[in-house]
Structure 1
Amino acid sequence: MTLPILIERDGHRTWLKWHRGRRRAADPVFTGERIIEAMRLGASVEVDLVIHADQGCAVLHDLTLERETTGTARVRDTSAAALRQLHLRDNQGKPIEATVMLLEDLCALLASQTVHPDALLQLDFKEDRQALTPQIVSGFGTSVLPIAGSVILSGGDFDAIATLAASAPGLRTGYDPCHRGALAELQASLNYLGFIEDALATAPDAGMIYLAYEIVLAAADAGVDIIAPIHAAGRRVDAWTINSVTPHSIEQVARLLQLKVDQITTDDPEGLAEVFSQ
């Protein structure tokens, strides 16, 4: 079986990022088992971070607990101890054995493992700079520092990313400019190159720029290559998110590969790897 890690086309390597820790579309999100598997194989894997009541971060995407866990409150109002007692839910909403992890739990788990030198854990911070406190920043650095060489921190507020990253020397950073109305503005202006220039200027230290794949393809349809200026600046491009493997998504991925994106975020890296290994 082809490992669900990357696709090589025309001398260019495109990584397949395990979105929310999924190897397959049927997988539940954020389980330690899958995250460890990805890191041992040398994959790129992404998890999300939101702030909890004890001034730390939980490995969850939503600001509320109902969809992803057996809890029923805001993450911000829930203690660390209470979060650890909650079970994750599968794609049908059924509780599973795996429980919610905090950032320090995940980092300690990975620090106890032998990870592949190519493995990359993306921590996607879902909140903004105003949400940060000195305690959150300090706790983040303490947790991440032992594994910082295998981690990239990303988000839509680069001030928040830079603040957190400063607490863990050696930590790589990435920036996602496709938030806070940016997509609607871009669809109206069609100023693709200006959008990329602004992103590069906003996040001068970001090694990875995360772009909604629809933007990459729409720009190409308009005759604009938005990958080239990112590569010219010495950065890499992640195109997000291919949710499932269908004839239409296969066509989209083929175009992204032709455009030489460096990484594709997907909920089914195994399915894509199988298709493009043929």
Structure 2
Amino acid sequence: MSEISSPSPSGPSSTPLYIDFDGHRTMLKWHRGRRRAADPAFTATRIVEGMRLGASIEVDLVIHADRGFAILHDRTVDQATTGTGAIASLPAAYLRGLALRDNHGNPLDERVLLLEDLTELFSDIDIAPTSILQLDFKEDDAALDPRAVDIFARSVEPLASHYILSCGDAAAVARLTAAAPGIRVGYDPCHRGAADAAIRSGDFDGFVARALAASPDAEMIYLENRLILAADRRGYDLVGAFHRHDRLVDGYTVTRIGPDTVPEIKRLLQLRVDQITTDDPEGLAALDLERTPSSRGARLVRWVRRTAGSGRSEV
């Protein structure tokens, strides 16, 4: 049986922080700062709430014209905000003046955040000891320059121990984390077709070896759920392989929650993933994992779409 509970004595017992299943704790990561499916992405309200309650939260980073980092997913602001244009050409002052949009496109009373703003945002709250904010850099090492690296380092320095950097480019991970002592290190080896290649070839040992060699300091490895489950169907425990090298594993991304997703979610828990990235932590925490659905062919994972020629996952 599974048990849903909260490590934060100050938070409600229903706070979706983790699932205890068969003696193993799996964190529920609030993808793009969402606590529930209806939440818009990257709002200060949810990010602050999660940091106070002890959540694992993820936000994305894209470099803006002043060489700092906007907390947004896309390279343009047109869909997610009230502004227009490519983030690379927009200055910090313009970005800070934009409002975020909800999931239906309506403007919110929530401003676009920059990485530099987080220290001030967190200055008046008690951050729970277990809180961790994943900074998922959506670009690569070629996008970085000394000014961007310096801004990153200065932005994260006050709360470095509560941050973990992730990226699909190991060189970018190494460059940014070297400049920011105390920050935790993560790596996503699924980019640039690597997950698809491993599924086609079945060379999961090689996949693990290449990931470890590319980012030897990473404590958390981010894996597509479809890759974890494809390996499992072939009798290969990809999570266990990384555990044997003392790495934690995050499985991403559970986007849809319902009875027909139970078998695959339960299998991820049985494989002892350390964290599940989800757009609906509350829905996942409330799921009846003992229910056996009658439908077959459940699909919980997002098939990763890749921008032609870009080599980056749209996650």
The interval holding the TM-score normalised by the smaller chain is over 0.9
- Distance between the aligned counterparts of 1:75 and 1:58, measured in 2? 8
**Alignment correspondent of 1:153:** 165
| Contact 1:2-1:277 at 8 Å conserved across structures | no
- Distance between the aligned counterparts of 1:110 and 1:178, measured in 2? 32
- Distance between the aligned counterparts of 1:23 and 1:160, measured in 2? 29
| Contact 2:27-2:276 at 8 Å conserved across structures | yes
**Alignment correspondent of 2:174:** 162
- Is 1:73 aligned with 2:51? no
| Contact 1:52-1:78 at 8 Å conserved across structures | yes
List gaps (5 residues or longer) in structure 1. none
SS class of match (2:265): helix
| 1:171-190 mapped onto 2 (5 Å cutoff) | 171-190=183-202
- Is 1:217 aligned with 2:213? no
The structure 1 segments of at least 4 consecutive aligned residues displaced by more than 3 Å after TM superposition are none
**Alignment correspondent of 2:109:** 97
Letter in 1 for 2:109: E
SS class of match (1:218): helix
Letter in 1 for 2:244: A
Letter in 2 for 1:40: R
| Contact 1:242-1:249 at 8 Å conserved across structures | no
Pick the aligned partner of 2:140 from 98, 122, 128: 128
Pick the aligned partner of 1:267 from 267, 271, 279: 279
- Distance between the aligned counterparts of 1:246 and 1:277, measured in 2? 10
Q: Deviations over 1:4-51 (max 9, x none)?
A: 000001110000000000000000000011011111111100000000
Q: RMSD of aligned C-alpha atoms?
A: 1.3
- Distance between the aligned counterparts of 1:40 and 1:161, measured in 2? 27
List gaps (5 residues or longer) in structure 2. 1-12, 291-315
- Distance between the aligned counterparts of 2:289 and 2:116, measured in 1? 37
Report the alpha carbon displacement of residue 249 of structure 1 after superposing the two structures with TM.
2.3
Q: Deviations over 1:200-234 (max 9, x none)?
A: 11110000000000110111011111111211111
- Is 1:140 aligned with 2:152? yes
Q: Deviations over 1:74-125 (max 9, x none)?
A: 0001010000111111111111110101101123212432110011000000
Q: TM-score, normalised by structure 1?
A: 0.97
Pick the aligned partner of 2:204 from 178, 192, 199: 192
Q: TM-score, normalised by structure 2?
A: 0.86
| Contact 1:177-1:199 at 8 Å conserved across structures | yes
Name the % identity: 54
**Alignment correspondent of 1:257:** 269
Letter in 1 for 2:228: V
**Alignment correspondent of 1:5:** 17
Report the alpha carbon displacement of residue 276 of structure 1 after superposing the two structures with TM.
4.9
Letter in 2 for 1:11: G
**Alignment correspondent of 2:127:** 115
- Distance between the aligned counterparts of 1:83 and 1:108, measured in 2? 17
Q: Which has the higher contact order (CA 8 A, sep 6+)?
A: 1
**Alignment correspondent of 1:231:** 243
- Distance between the aligned counterparts of 1:166 and 1:204, measured in 2? 13
Report the alpha carbon displacement of residue 181 of structure 1 after superposing the two structures with TM.
1.7
More helix by share: 1
- Distance between the aligned counterparts of 1:48 and 1:86, measured in 2? 17
| Contact 2:199-2:231 at 8 Å conserved across structures | no
| Contact 1:153-1:172 at 8 Å conserved across structures | yes
| 1:26-65 mapped onto 2 (5 Å cutoff) | 26-65=38-77
Report the alpha carbon displacement of residue 187 of structure 1 after superposing the two structures with TM.
2.9
Pick the aligned partner of 1:14 from 5, 26, 32: 26
Q: Deviations over 1:146-168 (max 9, x none)?
A: 00011100010111111111121
- Distance between the aligned counterparts of 1:88 and 1:254, measured in 2? 34
Report the alpha carbon displacement of residue 169 of structure 1 after superposing the two structures with TM.
0.6
